Structure 1
Amino acid sequence: MSLEVESAGATLVDLLRWRALNQPDQIGYTFLADGDNEEIHLTYTELDRRARAMSAMLRSSNVAGRTVLLVFPSSLEFIVAFFACLYSGAIVVAAQPPRPNRPMDRFVVIARDSGASVVMTLEPIRSRIASSVAAINGLENLRWIATDGGADQDAAVWTPPDINGESIALIQYTSGSTASPNGTVISHRNVLSNSRVIRDAFQHTASSIGVGWLPMTHDMGLIGNMLQPLYAGFRYFFMSPEHFLVRPVRWLHAISRYRATTSGGPNFAYDYCAEKIAPAKRAELDLSSWSLAFNGAEQVRPQTIDRFSAEFSRYGFRRDAFYPCYGLAESTLLVSGGTKRAPPIVESFDADALRSKYVVMKKGCTDSARVLVGCGRARAAHQVIIVDPETRQQCPADKVGEIWIAGASVAQGYWQHSETTGQVFEGYLDGTGQGPYLRSGDLGFLQDGELFVCGRLKEVIVLGGTNHFSVDIEMTVEQCHPAIRANCVAAVAVEVRGAERLVVIAEVDRRFAAAVASQQHEAKDPSLVSVANVKAAIHEAVSRNHDLSAHDLCLVKQSTISKTSSGKIQRHVCRERYLAGNLVLVESRAQG
Structure 2
Amino acid sequence: ESSLIDVLWRRASSQGEEEAYVFLADGEEVGERLTYGELGSRVRGVAEALSALSGAGERALLLYPPGLEFAVGFLACLASGVVAVPAYPPASRRHLPRLASMVEDARPALVLSSSSLGSKLHRSLSALPSLGGARWLLTDEIGGSPGWSGRRPSRSDLAFLQYTSGSTSSPKGVMVSHGNLLANEALIQRAFGLDGSAVVVGWLPLYHDMGLIGNLLQPLYLGGRCVLMSPVSFLQRPVRWLRAISRFGGTVSGGPNFAYELCVRKVGEEDRSGLDLSSWRLAFSGAEPVRAATLDRFASAFSGCGFRYRSFYPCYGLAESTLMVSGGDAESPPVVVEVEASALARDEVREAAGSGRALVGCGRAGSGLEVAIVDASTGVRLGEDRVGEIWVSGSSVAQGYWRRASATARDFGARPAGEGDSVRYLRTGDLGFVRGGELFVTGRLKDLIIIRGRNHYPQDLEASAEASHPSLRPGCGAAVSVEVAGEE
Partner of 1:424: 411
Which of 458, 465, 484 aligns to 1:470? It is 458
The residue correspondences of 1:416-455 to structure 2 (distance < 5 A) are 416-433=403-420, 434-455=422-443
Q: Which sits farther off after the overlay, 120-129 or 110-119? A: 120-129
The answer to whether the Cα contact below 8 Å between 1:134 and 1:141 also exists between their aligned partners in 2 is no
RMSD: 1.4
The answer to whether the Cα contact below 8 Å between 2:103 and 2:130 also exists between their aligned partners in 1 is no
Partner of 1:97: 89
Q: Does 1:183 align with 2:170?
A: no
Partner of 1:581: none
Q: Which sits farther off after the overlay, 121-130 or 400-409? A: 121-130
Partner of 2:448: 460
Instruction: Encode CA deviations 1:18-72: one digit per residue, 9 max, x unaligned.
Output: 1112212111111112211224211111111111111222233213111111101
The one-letter amino acid paired with 1:454 is: T
Q: Output the CA distance in 2 between the equivalents of 1:153 and 1:261.
A: 31
Which of 380, 384, 388 aligns to 1:401? It is 388
Partner of 1:5: none
Q: Output the CA distance in 2 between the equivalents of 1:127 and 1:73.
A: 13
The one-letter amino acid paired with 1:309 is: A
Instruction: Encode CA deviations 1:131-169: one digit per residue, 9 max, x unaligned.
Output: 232213333222211223x4526443x232252011011
Q: Does 1:27 align with 2:19?
A: yes
How much does 1:115 deviate?
A: 1.3
Partner of 1:85: 77
Q: Output the CA distance in 1 between the equivalents of 2:230 and 2:437.
A: 37
Which of 43, 53, 59 aligns to 2:45? It is 53
Q: Output the CA distance in 2 between the equivalents of 1:298 and 1:25.
A: 38
The one-letter amino acid paired with 1:233 is: G
Partner of 1:311: 301
Which of 169, 172, 196 aligns to 2:162? It is 172
Q: Output the CA distance in 2 between the equivalents of 1:349 and 1:403.
A: 19
The answer to whether the Cα contact below 8 Å between 1:386 and 1:445 also exists between their aligned partners in 2 is yes
The one-letter amino acid paired with 1:236 is: C
Partner of 2:270: 280
Structure 2 unaligned blocks of 5 or more: none
The answer to whether the Cα contact below 8 Å between 1:134 and 1:142 also exists between their aligned partners in 2 is no
Partner of 1:106: 98
Partner of 2:232: 242
SS of 1:45's equivalent?
A: helix
TM-score by length of 1: 0.80
The answer to whether the Cα contact below 8 Å between 2:107 and 2:131 also exists between their aligned partners in 1 is no
How much does 1:202 deviate?
A: 0.7
The one-letter amino acid paired with 1:176 is: G
The answer to whether the Cα contact below 8 Å between 2:108 and 2:134 also exists between their aligned partners in 1 is yes
Partner of 2:108: 116
The residue correspondences of 1:321-336 to structure 2 (distance < 5 A) are 321-336=311-326
Q: Output the CA distance in 2 between the equivalents of 1:129 and 1:46.
A: 27
The one-letter amino acid paired with 2:311 is: A
How much does 1:239 deviate?
A: 0.7
Which of 128, 136, 143 aligns to 1:152? It is 143
How much does 1:123 deviate?
A: 2.5
The answer to whether the Cα contact below 8 Å between 1:56 and 1:153 also exists between their aligned partners in 2 is no
Instruction: Encode CA deviations 1:98-152: one digit per residue, 9 max, x unaligned.
Output: 014543122112111111121000123222222232213333222211223x452
How much does 1:184 deviate?
A: 0.5
Which of 475, 492, 502 aligns to 2:480? It is 492
Which of 147, 161, 164 aligns to 2:151? It is 161
The answer to whether the Cα contact below 8 Å between 2:363 and 2:438 also exists between their aligned partners in 1 is yes
TM-score by length of 2: 0.97
The answer to whether the Cα contact below 8 Å between 2:155 and 2:177 also exists between their aligned partners in 1 is yes
List structure 1 segments (4+ residues) > 3 angstroms apart after TM superposition.
100-103
> Across the two proteins, how many residue pairs are aligned to each other?
487
The answer to whether the Cα contact below 8 Å between 1:72 and 1:122 also exists between their aligned partners in 2 is yes
Which of 209, 213, 217 aligns to 2:203? It is 213
Which of 9, 12, 16 aligns to 2:8? It is 16
- Percent identity between matched residues is 48
SS of 1:359's equivalent?
A: coil
Structure 1 unaligned blocks of 5 or more: 1-8, 501-592
Q: Output the CA distance in 2 between the equivalents of 1:330 and 1:211.
A: 24
Partner of 1:532: none
